[in-house]
Amino acid sequence: MAVTTQQLIQWKQQGRAIVALTGWDYAIAQLLDAAGVDLILVGDSLAVILGYETTLPITLDEMIHHAKAVRRAVKRALVVVDLPFLTYQESVSQAMQSAGRVLKETGAQAVKLEGGHPAMVETVARLVQAGIPVMGHVGLTPQSVHQLGLRQQGKSPEAGERILNEAIALEQAGVFSIVLEHIPAHLALQITQKLRIPTIGIGAGSDCDGQVLVTSDIIGLSEKQPPFAKVYTNLREHITQAVQKYAVEVRDRQFP
C-alpha cells in the first residue's frame, strides 16, 4: 500500500521507525522503493550530485526535472520534494506558485522547506490551508550555509530552545513531519517527545521517529560525506574497478 502522510503519523504513534533516503533519478528511486524505503526525498542535495558546491544554485526547473523521474519509478514510498533556495522565501505567493508547480508537474505528494522563523511559519500555514502537504526542516539548514556554515546547531540552551519553539510553531502551522538536521541528540529527543508529528533525524541521534540520509553518501558515491553519514558500500570503488576492467579488455581486444 502506498505510504501517506497520515501513515507516517500513525507509525510514530505505534513506535515504528520511518526509513527515509534521498533519491534523484528513475534508477535509484526504483531501487530505494523496491527495498522498502518509506519516504523518498528529492532533496536539493541533488545540487551536489550535479556538481554544485552548495545547494544554493539549483533551480526549481532542475528539481522538477528530477522529481518527475523519481515519481515515475516509485510505487509505494511517499515522495517529498525540496523547494530550492529563493523559490519560497520571498513571499507566500512565491511559495504557493513553486509548491503548486512541484505537485502539479511531478505528481509528488509533498514539499519540504527550510526554517522555522515566523515568516516561514506563516508561509507553511498558508500552503497547508491550500491543501499542500508540507514537511519542515530545522536545525542545520544548508540553504543558509553562508550564515550558519555546516556546524551543529542548537548547542547552547538558548539555541536549543529556539529550535524547539520553531518545531512547535511548524507543527501548529500544519507540517506533517519535520527534519531535524545536525542538532544534539538530547534536543532531538526533547522535540520528538513534544511533537505529535514524526521527526526525521539526520545527524540528530537515535531517538527521532525516523532517519534520513543522503543516498549518495551511504553508497559511497559522494566525494565527501558529513560526519554523521554512514557509508554502507563503496560504489566509487566498485564503479572504478568495473570501468578499468572494461577499458583494459577493450584495449586488449578481449571484449567483445
Among 82, 171, 209, 217, binds ligand KIV (CB under 6 A): 82
Closest CA to 77 of 134, 171, 8: 8
Binding-residue pattern over the window 67 to 106 for Na ion, x denoting contact by CB under 5 A = ---------------x------------------------
Cβ proximity to ligand KIV: between 43 and 251 the closer is: 43
Assess contact for 88 and 115: CB atoms under 8 A: no
C-alpha 189 chain-centroid distance: 19
Instruction: For residue 44, state whether it binds Na ion (rule: CB under 5 A).
Output: yes
| Residues forming the active site | 181
Q: Torsion over CA of 106, 107, 113 and 119, rounded to 10 degrees?
A: 100
Of the chain, the end-to-end C-alpha distance in Å amounts to 44
Query: Shortest approach of ligand KIV to residue 103 CB, angstroms?
Result: 18
Considering only the stretches 35-43, 87-95, 156-164, 187-195, report the one whose residues sit in contact with Na ion under the rule CB under 5 A.
35-43
Instruction: For residue 125, state whether it binds ligand KIV (rule: CB under 6 A).
Output: no
Among 83, 212, 218, 219, binds ligand KIV (CB under 6 A): 212
Instruction: For residue 181, state whether it binds Na ion (rule: CB under 5 A).
Output: no
Instruction: For residue 166, state whether it binds ligand KIV (rule: CB under 6 A).
Output: no
Q: Indicate the residue whose CB is closest to ligand KIV.
A: 43
Instruction: For residue 217, state whether it binds Na ion (rule: CB under 5 A).
Output: no
Closest CA to 29 of 64, 62, 78: 78
Instruction: For residue 209, state whether it binds ligand KIV (rule: CB under 6 A).
Output: no
Residues touching ligand KIV, count (CB under 6 A): 10
Instruction: For residue 214, state whether it binds ligand KIV (rule: CB under 6 A).
Output: yes
Instruction: For residue 43, state whether it binds Na ion (rule: CB under 5 A).
Output: yes
Residues touching Na ion, count (CB under 5 A): 3
Summarize as ranges the residues that interact with Na ion (CB under 5 A): 43-44, 82
Summarize as ranges the residues that interact with ligand KIV (CB under 6 A): 22, 41, 43-45, 82, 179, 202, 212, 214
Q: Which residues are annotated as a binding site for Mg(2+)?
A: 44, 82, 114
Q: Which residues are annotated as a binding site for 3-methyl-2-oxobutanoate?
A: 44-45, 82, 112
